[in-house]
A and B are shown apart, each in its own frame.
Chain A
């Protein structure tokens, strides 16, 4: 095997990893936002991702948007609708499962989150049934894109671009807008924020809209790209994205992005050069190493001001 083909192999695996990592990153953003403000791991987040995938399929087949406005615009409108709907479900989740427990010990809220996860998973199964659903194929025109001799499917580039764009938009929103400032204030000290005239409940509502909306968008992307969805899919993605959020430093927005992409790449390279069967073990081993060296995660050093 020549050097060129070894290089090609390496870069192909790198793009494989980035595509998977882009999805992890999008889901990880939701974990990180909620943790940043409430110090709560929203275990139901993986299931909100699944709901996104199912809502996407339902809207796609019932509205037939793509027939009217074409593949790209159709998918864009679909993504906006799915994000809106999953965001609203996120707000309802916070209102019913987390807000009543906000003054309770943190463990109660975690148990409530686990309960919400089980509730969502079973609700999806009861509504849609336990079988696999398949997205229609060829939603987007097949355009093979060649970058330095590597052929990269269009959908992978869309996934990666969408993740990066949403991450940057979120970062700017949190850093530059008035609501973003309020979110950061609430993340530091809810009581003090309330004294400064910030409506903390409203801030938390915004957080629980944005986080789940991003998870829903990731669900839609997985459906469109990989085709196959079922009601348990949120578990494995949720777990990996949670890992990614910790890897990057939970509570930190760029950290979630870096953690997601890094986890995807570690998995792909681990599978390629060590062993496929040990891919997950390798990824978690790297996580442990990083946490030993940097207990707060890669970018999570400013503990005082998270998010």
Chain B
């Protein structure tokens, strides 16, 4: 008898961690908490923490609290694969993130093998959703969508000789190549196509070469730290020519680096900023965020991470399941017109967001991002 009690006690001890673990629904967040994109990652965490708190105050999901497990991908593919491995072993149902396309790419297969739903928030490279991974989704649009909008914008502005500059990351290169193909099809001259090295400070040599190609419009498809420096050094050179950026320049740090005078007149493509959205969901979210953190969300990608988090919670609620297969099937076939923070959400069979998202912004003389009509 004593023996049985002993064994039962031992068994209980063994099972106990498992029992406690079942108490919460675990959702991972993988984002660049450090590295050059840290401002994006840290705001991603703020957004997802805020939304998780809101759900938990209403009793969580499936009668369980939601627990967010955060890992830092450092904006670096190697760190990301380590982060993904750590998260995959900690019993998460789904993971939100991440920002850069090459970073997401390094983690995709790890989550796929562990049967975890991944919802990327800023990775727009086309091939991420062309690999036939069943549990991969993204709330941001794809580069081919952005390439089309870029071409339409350039034509609308009446530009004839275009220079395209990227930074060799999978995202920027993909967008640059897509745009070049579209522009050629539309009979617009691409007079320059090359890549800079991200992380440097001096891009004067590149600007001098760009200027010699004599374009009337420059499309830079890279990220905001480099875009800010390019604008600043372009102004210093006294070269007056319109620049446009892709959606990765959408961060106020751009204007801080360049200065308002150098950034004025800069165009960029982006999903709408939170402050420009007028749906009830967007407004109440921006209010709650401002109340908790003292400022409005600065960038759109953290908000898209919030949308990823909200659709996965919705899927768990509706399917009453935490199995990746059921969740993915629900997101692909049953979720239609879900009112997200960035407009309505639905996904196609590849896991890509359906519908037009991009808008054109222009920087005004105060350095504010103004939505072009």
Contacts and interface: CB of A to CB of B under 8 A. Distances in A.
Size band of the A side of the interface?
Answer: 35 or more
A137 B259 contact: yes
Given A9-B212, A13-B208, A276-B206, A222 B201 contact: yes
A131 interface: yes
B195 interface: yes
Interface string B165-194: 000100000000000000000000000001
B208 A230 contact: no
Nearest to A136: B259
Interface in A184-202: none
Given A12-B208, A130-B39, A277-B195, A226 B33 contact: no
Interface in A271-300: 271-272, 275-277, 279-280
Interface in A15-30: 16-17, 19-20
Contacts of B200: 236
A129 B257 CA distance: 17
Interface in B28-65: 33-36, 38-39, 42
A277 B168 contact: yes
Contacts of B208: 9, 12-13, 16, 272
B195 A276 contact: yes
Contacts, number: 92
A226 to B, nearest CB: 4
Contacts of A20: 202, 204-205
Interface string B312-345: 0000000000000000000000000000000000
A237 B194 CA distance: 22
B199 A271 contact: no
Interface in B233-249: 236-238
Given A9-B208, A17-B205, A19-B202, A226 B256 contact: no
Nearest to B197: A280
Interface stretch (B131-139, B140-148, B224-232, B277-285): B224-232
A135 to B, nearest CB: 10
Contacts of B194: 275-277
A271 B203 CA distance: 10
B196 interface: yes
Most B Cβ at <10 Å: residue of A5, A131, A226:
A226
Contact of A272 (B34, B35, B209): B209
B201 A226 contact: yes
A153 B233 CA distance: 10
Contacts of B229: 226-228
A173 interface: no
B288 interface: no
A12 B259 CA distance: 24
Nearest to B194: A276
B110 interface: no
B256 A134 contact: yes
A58 interface: no
B250 to A, nearest CB: 15
A12 B206 CA distance: 11
Interface in B50-88: none
Contacts of A5: 212
A261 to B, nearest CB: 14
Nearest to B236: A153
Contacts of A233: 199, 201
16 contacts: A1-B212, A16-B208, A130-B39, A130-B42, A132-B253, A226-B229, A230-B36, A237-B201, A268-B205, A271-B206, A272-B209, A276-B194, A276-B205, A276-B206, A277-B168, A279-B205
**CB-CB nearest 8 A-B residue pairs:** A130-B38, A277-B195, A268-B205, A226-B201, A16-B204, A276-B194, A271-B205, A228-B257
Interface of A: 1, 5, 9, 12-13, 16-17, 19-20, 125, 129-132, 134, 137, 144, 151, 153, 222, 226-228, 230, 232-233, 235-237, 267-268, 271-272, 275-277, 279-280
Interface of B: 33-36, 38-39, 42, 168, 194-197, 199-202, 204-206, 208-209, 212, 225, 228-229, 232, 236-238, 253, 256-257, 259
Given A132-B225, A226-B202, 14 more contacts: A5-B212, A13-B205, A16-B202, A19-B202, A20-B204, A125-B34, A132-B39, A226-B201, A236-B199, A272-B209, A276-B194, A276-B196, A276-B209, A277-B194
